[in-house]
Structure 1
Amino acid sequence: MDDDLTALQAEEAELEWDRFGVDDAWELGNAVRAIAHERGQSVTIDIRRVNGMILFRTALAGVTVDQDDWVRRKSAVVFRFDTSSALFAARMAAAGFDPTQVGWLTAADYAVTGGSVPIRVRGAGVVAALTISGLSSEEDHALATEAIRAAIG
């Protein structure tokens, strides 16, 4: 568990952008879509700003309407805690704490599971989130971080 936390924290520190605008969102979203399409993965891909403005959104064949709700709830974790939903979930698991069971977070509003990754800009902090839903939590997270790594080079 500690290794997972350490790896997720290190990963998050390296995934920082110099800038991120609407054109970057378009390119990142299309890159994720191309990877998922090539692999035959059924996912919803969403990039939204902290204020809720959707910069990119697409769904591949085979997704269900449930993915829309997962995207909303996963990205809510990123925006509330300024960290990936996978890292937040790992921190809660390491502490043996389920925030949805004690009333701290409502399961209707937050998904404490992997798949949403902050778009963090140097000097500005979290400005958006890339969220993927449709695979396992680990696979959603891995696809997002793979695409971000490729985009920021």
Structure 2
Amino acid sequence: MGDSTRDIEDVAALVAEVEQQERELVLTRFTHDDAWQLGCLLVELAAERGLGVTVDVRKGPQQVFHAAREGTSPDNDSWVARKVRVVERFGASSYLTGLRARAKGKDFNTKHQLPLQEYAAHGGAFPVRVEGVGIVGVVTVSGLAQADDHALVVEALRIHDAGSA
């Protein structure tokens, strides 16, 4: 089996895993207070681990929480905005959207004819879904490798969801 076949299989497995995360991580509600608590939780996790990340939580188009830890720069704010646009346009996490393009052997921006300076299908932005409503916001982390940005958001959403159940 060649490297490219293995890579496609690995990407397909990742696509399935992230699709499952999106099906599982559906909240019963998402208020401004929930957005704030989720943002604070992400900052606490990052601080405990010494991670330099920017955290952004939006409810609808409104930015409810934004924090930049030591080691970040304005470039991370740009990454956040670009990842959020992907979630808002495609209704899926920025990681999943990028993986789906990769699974088809395509470059996301070229495939969708979207400018690189406005859209980044890299891990870290995750749709906030509420049961019976759909997507009501976006939670984003920027500063780590894309799989790690995504994993941190998923971890925080799981903890937040368990705490509000």
* TM-score of the superposed pair, with normalisation by structure 2: 0.89
User: Shift of residue 48 of structure 1?
Assistant: 1.3
Tell me which of 55, 58, 66 is aligned to 1:48: 58
1:55-66 equivalent positions in 2, closer than 5 A: 55-66=64-75
Matched letter for residue 68 of structure 1: D
* More helix as a share of residues: 2
1:98 matches 2:98: no
User: Shift of residue 100 of structure 1?
Assistant: 1.6
The 10-residue stretch of structure 1 (116-125 or 95-104) with the greater mean CA deviation from structure 2: 95-104
1:102-121 equivalent positions in 2, closer than 5 A: 102=111, 104-121=113-130
User: Shift of residue 103 of structure 1?
Assistant: 5.9
Aligned positions, number: 152
CA gap of 1:33–1:104, structure 2 versus 1, over 3 A, is same
Partner of 1:15: 25
Name structure 2 gaps, 5 residues minimum: 1-10
Tell me the secondary structure at the aligned position of residue 86 of structure 2. helix
CA distance in 1, matches of 2:111, 2:83: 19
Tell me which of 12, 25, 40 is aligned to 2:35: 25
Query: Percent same amino acid at aligned positions?
Result: 40
CA gap of 1:21–1:101, structure 2 versus 1, over 3 A, is same
Partner of 2:6: none
Matched letter for residue 68 of structure 2: A
Tell me the secondary structure at the aligned position of residue 100 of structure 1. helix
1:25-83 superposed Cα distances (whole Å, 9 cap, x missing partner): 111110010000010000000011332x1110001111111000000000110010110
The 10-residue stretch of structure 1 (6-15 or 101-110) with the greater mean CA deviation from structure 2: 101-110
Structure 1 moving runs of 4+ over 4 Å: none
CA distance in 1, matches of 2:21, 2:102: 18
- Decide which structure has the larger Cα Rg and report it: 2
* TM-score of the superposed pair, with normalisation by structure 1: 0.96
